[in-house]
Protein backbone atom coordinates (compact mmCIF):
# COMPACT_ATOMS: atom_id res chain seq x y z
CA UNK A 1 0.00 0.00 0.00
CA UNK A 2 1.63 3.28 -1.10
CA UNK A 3 -0.35 5.64 1.09
CA UNK A 4 1.55 6.06 4.37
CA UNK A 5 -1.67 6.92 6.18
CA UNK A 6 -2.78 3.36 5.48
CA UNK A 7 0.56 1.65 6.07
CA UNK A 8 -0.40 -1.53 7.89
CA UNK A 9 1.73 -4.29 6.42
CA UNK A 10 5.08 -4.87 4.78
CA UNK A 11 8.69 -5.41 5.78
CA UNK A 12 11.53 -3.06 6.66
CA UNK A 13 15.09 -4.42 6.65
CA UNK A 14 17.53 -2.37 8.73
CA UNK A 15 21.25 -3.10 8.96
CA UNK A 16 23.55 -2.24 11.85
CA UNK A 17 27.33 -2.45 11.83
CA UNK A 18 28.81 -5.13 14.06
CA UNK A 19 30.15 -3.83 17.41
CA UNK A 20 27.72 -0.94 17.51
CA UNK A 21 24.95 -0.53 20.06
CA UNK A 22 23.06 2.69 19.45
CA UNK A 23 20.06 2.92 21.75
CA UNK A 24 18.58 5.77 19.74
CA UNK A 25 18.18 3.40 16.80
CA UNK A 26 16.19 1.07 19.03
CA UNK A 27 14.09 4.06 20.13
CA UNK A 28 13.33 4.68 16.45
CA UNK A 29 12.32 1.03 16.10
CA UNK A 30 9.95 1.39 19.04
CA UNK A 31 8.37 4.60 17.73
CA UNK A 32 7.92 3.12 14.27
CA UNK A 33 6.44 -0.12 15.63
CA UNK A 34 4.01 1.83 17.79
CA UNK A 35 2.82 3.84 14.79
CA UNK A 36 2.84 0.92 12.31
CA UNK A 37 2.55 -2.39 14.21
CA UNK A 38 1.70 -4.28 11.02
CA UNK A 39 5.10 -3.67 9.43
CA UNK A 40 7.72 -6.32 10.22
CA UNK A 41 11.12 -4.92 11.23
CA UNK A 42 14.11 -7.11 10.37
CA UNK A 43 17.47 -6.22 11.96
CA UNK A 44 20.70 -7.59 10.48
CA UNK A 45 24.28 -7.11 11.69
CA UNK A 46 27.30 -7.14 9.39
CA UNK A 47 30.45 -5.26 8.47
CA UNK A 48 29.97 -1.74 7.11
CA UNK A 49 31.21 -2.78 3.66
CA UNK A 50 28.63 -5.55 3.43
CA UNK A 51 25.84 -3.30 4.71
CA UNK A 52 26.69 -0.60 2.16
CA UNK A 53 26.50 -3.16 -0.63
CA UNK A 54 23.22 -4.40 0.80
CA UNK A 55 21.74 -0.91 0.64
CA UNK A 56 23.04 -0.39 -2.90
CA UNK A 57 21.51 -3.67 -4.07
CA UNK A 58 18.21 -3.08 -2.32
CA UNK A 59 18.57 -6.09 -0.03
CA UNK A 60 18.64 -3.69 2.93
CA UNK A 61 16.37 -0.63 3.16
CA UNK A 62 18.48 1.37 5.61
CA UNK A 63 21.73 0.79 7.48
CA UNK A 64 23.72 2.28 10.32
CA UNK A 65 27.36 2.03 9.22
CA UNK A 66 30.78 3.15 10.37
CA UNK A 67 33.14 4.82 7.91
CA UNK A 68 36.56 6.42 7.88
CA UNK A 69 35.92 10.12 7.45
CA UNK A 70 33.83 10.15 4.29
CA UNK A 71 30.32 8.90 3.59
CA UNK A 72 29.57 6.26 0.91
CA UNK A 73 29.24 7.84 -2.54
CA UNK A 74 25.89 7.84 -4.28
CA UNK A 75 23.82 7.22 -1.16
CA UNK A 76 21.66 9.43 1.02
CA UNK A 77 23.18 9.74 4.48
CA UNK A 78 22.61 11.23 7.89
CA UNK A 79 25.81 11.42 9.99
CA UNK A 80 25.07 10.56 13.61
CA UNK A 81 28.51 10.63 15.25
CA UNK A 82 31.84 12.04 14.09
CA UNK A 83 34.73 11.49 16.52
CA UNK A 84 38.50 11.24 16.59
CA UNK A 85 40.23 8.07 17.72
CA UNK A 86 42.15 7.86 20.97
CA UNK A 87 44.55 5.34 22.46
CA UNK A 88 43.37 4.29 25.92
CA UNK A 89 45.78 2.86 28.50
CA UNK A 90 45.35 1.86 32.15
CA UNK A 91 46.92 3.61 35.12
CA UNK A 92 50.49 2.40 35.46
CA UNK A 93 51.05 1.93 31.73
CA UNK A 94 54.27 3.57 30.43
CA UNK A 95 52.14 5.97 28.34
CA UNK A 96 49.60 6.73 31.07
CA UNK A 97 51.00 10.11 32.07
CA UNK A 98 51.00 11.44 28.52
CA UNK A 99 48.16 13.31 26.86
CA UNK A 100 49.23 12.69 23.27
CA UNK A 101 51.06 9.98 21.38
CA UNK A 102 52.00 8.97 17.84
CA UNK A 103 51.20 5.73 16.12
CA UNK A 104 54.82 4.72 16.55
CA UNK A 105 54.47 5.26 20.30
CA UNK A 106 51.33 3.19 20.75
CA UNK A 107 52.17 0.40 18.32
CA UNK A 108 55.26 -0.36 20.36
CA UNK A 109 52.73 -2.19 22.56
CA UNK A 110 50.08 -4.83 21.77
CA UNK A 111 46.84 -3.34 20.42
CA UNK A 112 43.27 -4.20 21.41
CA UNK A 113 40.62 -3.00 19.00
CA UNK A 114 37.34 -3.57 17.22
CA UNK A 115 37.17 -5.97 14.26
CA UNK A 116 37.67 -5.12 10.59
CA UNK A 117 34.53 -3.73 9.01
CA UNK A 118 33.92 -1.13 11.72
CA UNK A 119 34.55 2.58 11.22
CA UNK A 120 37.04 2.83 14.08
CA UNK A 121 39.10 -0.08 12.79
CA UNK A 122 39.05 1.34 9.25
CA UNK A 123 40.39 4.68 10.49
CA UNK A 124 43.09 2.97 12.54
CA UNK A 125 44.19 0.60 9.78
CA UNK A 126 44.37 3.40 7.20
CA UNK A 127 46.30 5.60 9.57
CA UNK A 128 48.84 2.84 10.22
CA UNK A 129 49.18 2.11 6.51
CA UNK A 130 49.77 5.78 5.73
CA UNK A 131 52.62 5.89 8.25
CA UNK A 132 54.06 2.52 7.30
CA UNK A 133 53.33 1.15 10.76
CA UNK A 134 52.45 -2.51 11.33
CA UNK A 135 50.56 -2.84 14.61
CA UNK A 136 50.44 -6.03 16.64
CA UNK A 137 46.68 -6.49 17.03
CA UNK A 138 46.84 -8.90 19.94
CA UNK A 139 43.11 -9.00 20.66
CA UNK A 140 39.97 -7.82 18.97
CA UNK A 141 36.40 -7.80 20.23
CA UNK A 142 33.07 -6.83 18.72
CA UNK A 143 31.97 -4.75 21.73
CA UNK A 144 33.73 -1.49 22.69
CA UNK A 145 33.20 -2.28 26.39
CA UNK A 146 35.11 -5.53 25.95
CA UNK A 147 37.97 -3.70 24.23
CA UNK A 148 38.10 -1.27 27.17
CA UNK A 149 37.94 -4.05 29.77
CA UNK A 150 40.82 -5.91 28.13
CA UNK A 151 42.93 -2.75 28.15
CA UNK A 152 42.10 -2.10 31.81
CA UNK A 153 43.50 -5.55 32.58
CA UNK A 154 46.78 -4.66 30.90
CA UNK A 155 46.34 -6.77 27.77
CA UNK A 156 47.01 -3.99 25.29
CA UNK A 157 46.44 -0.40 24.21
CA UNK A 158 42.76 0.10 23.36
CA UNK A 159 41.80 1.95 20.18
CA UNK A 160 38.47 3.65 20.83
CA UNK A 161 36.53 6.78 19.99
CA UNK A 162 36.66 9.73 22.36
CA UNK A 163 33.20 9.09 23.83
CA UNK A 164 33.84 5.36 24.29
CA UNK A 165 37.04 6.03 26.23
CA UNK A 166 35.38 8.78 28.28
CA UNK A 167 33.09 6.19 29.88
CA UNK A 168 36.18 4.69 31.50
CA UNK A 169 37.74 7.89 32.84
CA UNK A 170 39.66 7.05 35.99
CA UNK A 171 40.44 3.53 34.83
CA UNK A 172 41.74 4.36 31.36
CA UNK A 173 43.70 7.43 30.26
CA UNK A 174 42.87 8.57 26.73
CA UNK A 175 45.69 9.85 24.54
CA UNK A 176 45.12 11.87 21.39
CA UNK A 177 46.74 10.11 18.45
CA UNK A 178 48.65 12.91 16.74
CA UNK A 179 48.98 11.32 13.32
CA UNK A 180 45.36 10.22 12.92
CA UNK A 181 43.08 13.18 12.28
CA UNK A 182 40.48 11.37 10.18
CA UNK A 183 37.34 10.91 12.29
CA UNK A 184 35.34 7.74 12.62
CA UNK A 185 31.84 8.48 11.31
CA UNK A 186 28.65 6.66 12.21
CA UNK A 187 25.81 7.35 9.77
CA UNK A 188 22.42 6.19 8.58
CA UNK A 189 22.46 5.46 4.84
CA UNK A 190 19.75 4.68 2.30
CA UNK A 191 19.20 4.91 -1.46
CA UNK A 192 15.58 5.81 -2.04
CA UNK A 193 12.52 6.88 -0.11
CA UNK A 194 9.97 5.39 -2.51
CA UNK A 195 9.10 2.85 0.17
CA UNK A 196 6.38 4.21 2.48
CA UNK A 197 7.80 2.17 5.36
CA UNK A 198 11.28 3.63 4.87
CA UNK A 199 9.92 7.19 4.68
CA UNK A 200 8.06 6.69 7.92
CA UNK A 201 11.05 5.11 9.64
CA UNK A 202 13.26 8.03 8.61
CA UNK A 203 10.75 10.41 10.13
CA UNK A 204 10.90 8.43 13.38
CA UNK A 205 14.70 8.48 13.21
CA UNK A 206 14.63 12.25 12.82
CA UNK A 207 12.96 12.53 16.22
CA UNK A 208 15.67 10.60 18.04
CA UNK A 209 18.85 11.40 16.09
CA UNK A 210 18.53 15.13 15.44
CA UNK A 211 17.67 18.20 17.47
CA UNK A 212 14.01 19.17 17.46
CA UNK A 213 13.26 21.26 14.40
CA UNK A 214 16.53 20.44 12.64
CA UNK A 215 14.66 18.71 9.82
CA UNK A 216 17.75 16.99 8.40
CA UNK A 217 15.91 13.79 7.59
CA UNK A 218 12.58 15.51 7.08
CA UNK A 219 14.04 17.63 4.32
CA UNK A 220 15.46 14.55 2.65
CA UNK A 221 12.26 12.51 2.58
CA UNK A 222 9.49 15.03 2.08
CA UNK A 223 8.71 16.34 -1.41
Tens digit of each residue's pLDDT, the chain (223 residues): 344 445 666 889 999 988 776 778 888 888 899 989 999 999 999 989 999 999 999 999 999 998 888 888 889 998 888 899 999 999 999 999 999 999 999 999 999 999 988 889 999 999 999 999 999 999 999 889 999 999 999 999 999 999 899 999 999 999 999 999 999 998 999 997 678 889 889 888 877 776 443 333 333 333 2
Q: What is the pLDDT, as a whole number, of residue 222?
A: 33
- Looking at the structure, do residues 12 and 67 belong to the same domain, yes or no? yes
Give 172-183 pLDDT, tens digit per residue: 999 999 999 999
Range of the domain at 77: 4-81+184-221
Please count the structural domains in the chain: 2
User: What pTM was computed for the model?
Assistant: 0.79
CA distance 200 to 110: 46
- Looking at the structure, do residues 173 and 196 belong to the same domain, yes or no? no
- Looking at the structure, do residues 99 and 171 belong to the same domain, yes or no? yes
Dihedral sign for Cα atoms in the order 125, 123, 144, 164: positive
- Return the bridge partners of 86, or none: 160, 176
CB atoms near residue 157 (< 10 Å): 27
Q: What is the pLDDT, as a whole number, of residue 7?
A: 63
> CATH number, domain at 192?
3.40.190.10
Q: Are 15 and 54 in contact (CB under 8 A)?
A: yes
Amino acid sequence: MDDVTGLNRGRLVVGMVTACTVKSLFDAFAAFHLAHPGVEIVLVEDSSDQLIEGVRSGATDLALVGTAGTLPAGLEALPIVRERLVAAVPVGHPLAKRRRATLADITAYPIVCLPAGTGIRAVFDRGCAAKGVQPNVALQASAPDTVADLAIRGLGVAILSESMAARYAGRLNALVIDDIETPAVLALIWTTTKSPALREFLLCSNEVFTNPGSGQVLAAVRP
